[in-house]
Amino acid sequence: MASLRSPIIVLSVWLMLMGMIACSPNSSPPSSLPRKSPVYILDTEGLEPPAMGVDPARKPGYSIGGADDEMPDGGVVAFELTLAARGADALQMRLAESAPGQTIPLDSFAVSASLPPAIDLDWNRLPLEVRNVLNEGRGLFARVEKHTKLSSEQIRIAVLLPTSTMTPETRLEVYTDTFGDGSPFGAAKIPLVRDFYYIAVLGDSIQWGNGLTDRHKFSALVAQTIEREKNVKVIRQIRAHSGARIVPIDEDVICSQNCWGEAPVVATSIRLQAKTIESPDLIDLVMMDGCINDVDVLSIINPNITPDDLALKTRTFCYEEMRALLEEVRETVPQAPVVVTAYFPIISKDNDLDGLEQYMALNEVPQDNSLSEIIERMVENSAVFDDVSRASLAQAVHEANEKASGDRMIAFAPTEFKTEHSLFASASYLWGMDENNAFLNDLEIDLALFPEDPVLEQRADFCLQNETIDSFLGCVYASVGHPNIDGARAYATAIEKQLIALGVLDGDGGSE
């Protein structure tokens, strides 16, 4: 009998254990699993998108009227949301920042009489409890009167926020439940900003930022500084592209499709770029350059071009044509400050010979003299272009300001590129080349060195797919000699110094 009991006892114990597990509190779904449904935003009222671009940020369009002296500093804004959510009675909202853990819950109010539409809100008519919350720097939401018939799973909500709660990194999150770590489940999210600030970027590959990911472009760095200091959301309208000249050529057209500033399929002059600025009356700042492609980089590094000829050509385009261009830009955006950036000495005596020799081969630099003589002339011409272009651009800016009744609305931003910052130099601020690139090796390019920038593979793929590109190698190597991450920071610093001089910035912030 004992031999029969053992299996029964074991089975009984096993069943008891299973029953304990099934009945224990731990049998409920883990706290990380959602218990309620997601929230959807069906409609908004009083939230304005940017006037240009596709940024998801929204600016509240209604300010609450009433006794300003009793309201929070900066005032209070309001907007409405029509939401779809099961379990709307469990609705929660919070303001969240990009930095982890920085959130501000919004108070939920079941006011005795539901709020009137946001457009009609008046401070003196708000319930005292609502005004107290807002004066404490907190936001809130409540049901709003609405004549539109809503289904049982829809709700119309008014959101009231002190303006001080919004930064360029703020987003509103609407949800009914959270995960175990406190993060919202199925949240509807809207980035909220106090205001938009619009920048137009005109010019060539330097302003575009060849080889740089967008967050490292100096226009993005300057935008970040403006956002931090002015507490606004910057929207960049980038018209600059690689190869752009001031003076139009016969094929000067606006690119309507398949456009990418890194390796454009058409030529759009900087003059035409200026004419195509969207909503020019809203532009707050213009960043621009121009003239190096009119002079032609191949002329600058050509040892057979005399310094005097190069200086004359440089002055023609960097002074005369730039001055005319600035007058056109001022006519298009008379209200906006303009910053014109300088160029830099491309080649100096501080260089890596291997990289420089391949660069010369790629650009078909004439080899009529000894290598040392060729390099010496290239260094001299680079210095001539740098010196003459800086003086010419500065003069063009000065005269454009004088013509505009003496108002200093245009500034010249000279960059600080030293000998060691030139191409293939010891501490270069420019993209160079290296040996390690399996992607281009697979293409069987018969060269020892490849561009080192992070956009290389994307650019090479674009170059392969577009038959209109004149030179595949020229397209692939289009980053070489353009500001790298350090160079972009140097440009941003130079621009921000001029923005302080123009009164756009007060100097509290700066590029990091």
Given a cut of 80, is residue 119 above it in pLDDT?
no
Domain assignment of residue 453, yes or no? yes
Using the Cα atoms of residue 394, residue 396, residue 397 and residue 403 in order, give the sign of their dihedral.
positive
Domain assignment of residue 97, yes or no? yes
Report pLDDT for 117.
75
On whether both 339 and 323 belong to a single domain, the answer is: yes
Report pLDDT for 471.
86
Which tokens is 348 given? 């100096």
Measured distance CA(313)–CA(230) in Å, rounded:
41
On whether both 182 and 202 belong to a single domain, the answer is: no
Given a cut of 90, is residue 404 above it in pLDDT?
no
On whether both 249 and 112 belong to a single domain, the answer is: no
pLDDT tens-digit map of 39-71: 999 999 999 999 999 999 999 999 998 777 788
Given a cut of 90, is residue 226 above it in pLDDT?
yes
On whether both 159 and 255 belong to a single domain, the answer is: no
Give the model's confidence band at 11: pLDDT under 50 very low, under 70 low, under 90 confident, else very high: very low
Q: Choose the final residue of a domain: 191, 220, 236.
A: 191
To the nearest 10°, the Cα dihedral for 314, 319, 325, 326?
140
On whether both 153 and 259 belong to a single domain, the answer is: no
Given a cut of 50, is residue 34 above it in pLDDT?
no
Measured distance CA(394)–CA(483) in Å, rounded:
21
Measured distance CA(436)–CA(452) in Å, rounded:
8
Report pLDDT for 459.
94
On whether both 251 and 270 belong to a single domain, the answer is: yes
Give the model's confidence band at 180: pLDDT under 50 very low, under 70 low, under 90 confident, else very high: confident
Domain assignment of residue 18, yes or no? no
Measured distance CA(82)–CA(460) in Å, rounded:
46
Report pLDDT for 10.
35
Report pLDDT for 37.
82
For residue 88, what is the domain's CATH number?
2.60.40
Give the model's confidence band at 150: pLDDT under 50 very low, under 70 low, under 90 confident, else very high: confident
Given a cut of 60, is residue 105 above it in pLDDT?
yes
Is the pLDDT higher at 256 or at 246?
Answer: 246
Given a cut of 60, is residue 440 above it in pLDDT?
yes
Task: Kindly state the percentage of the chain with pLDDT values over 70.
Answer: 87
> Which of these, 200, 166, 142, 214, lies nearest to 58 by C-alpha position?
166
Measured distance CA(28)–CA(25) in Å, rounded:
6
Measured distance CA(385)–CA(348) in Å, rounded:
12
Q: Say if residues 114 and 145 touch (Cβ distance below 8 Å).
A: yes
Q: Choose the final residue of a domain: 191, 220, 253.
A: 191
On whether both 242 and 348 belong to a single domain, the answer is: yes
On whether both 164 and 303 belong to a single domain, the answer is: no
Average pLDDT over residues 494-500: 98
Mean pLDDT rounded to a whole number for the chain: 87
Domain assignment of residue 77, yes or no? yes
Q: What are the φ/ψ torsions at residue 312 (nearest 5 degrees)?
A: -65, -45
> Which of these, 455, 468, 467, lies nearest to 253 by C-alpha position?
468
For residue 327, what is the domain's CATH number?
3.40.50.1110
Domain assignment of residue 62, yes or no? yes
Domain assignment of residue 512, yes or no? no
Report pLDDT for 397.
97
Is the pLDDT higher at 108 or at 387?
Answer: 387
Report pLDDT for 441.
67
Domain ranges, residue 119: 40-191
CA distances from 304 to 116, 348, 365, 378 (A): 77, 17, 9, 9
On whether both 111 and 237 belong to a single domain, the answer is: no
- Can you give 458-501 as a three-state secondary structure string? HHHHHHHHCCCCCCHHHHHCCCCCCECHHHHHHHHHHHHHHHHH
Given a cut of 50, is residue 344 above it in pLDDT?
yes
Given a cut of 60, is residue 1 above it in pLDDT?
no
Q: What are the φ/ψ torsions at residue 58 (nearest 5 degrees)?
A: -130, 145
Residue 140 neighbours by CB distance under 10 Å = 21
Q: Say if residues 248 and 272 touch (Cβ distance below 8 Å).
A: yes
Average pLDDT over residues 159-184: 90
Domain assignment of residue 392, yes or no? yes
Average pLDDT over residues 260-278: 92
Identity of the highest mean pLDDT range in 97-106, 147-156, 334-343, 444-453 = 334-343
On whether both 161 and 228 belong to a single domain, the answer is: no
Q: Choose the final residue of a domain: 148, 167, 191.
A: 191
On whether both 303 and 383 belong to a single domain, the answer is: yes
Given a cut of 60, is residue 24 above it in pLDDT?
no
On whether both 367 and 226 belong to a single domain, the answer is: yes
Residue with tokens 């910053």: 339
Give the model's confidence band at 100: pLDDT under 50 very low, under 70 low, under 90 confident, else very high: low
Give the count of domains, the chain. 2
Report pLDDT for 178.
87
Report pLDDT for 259.
82
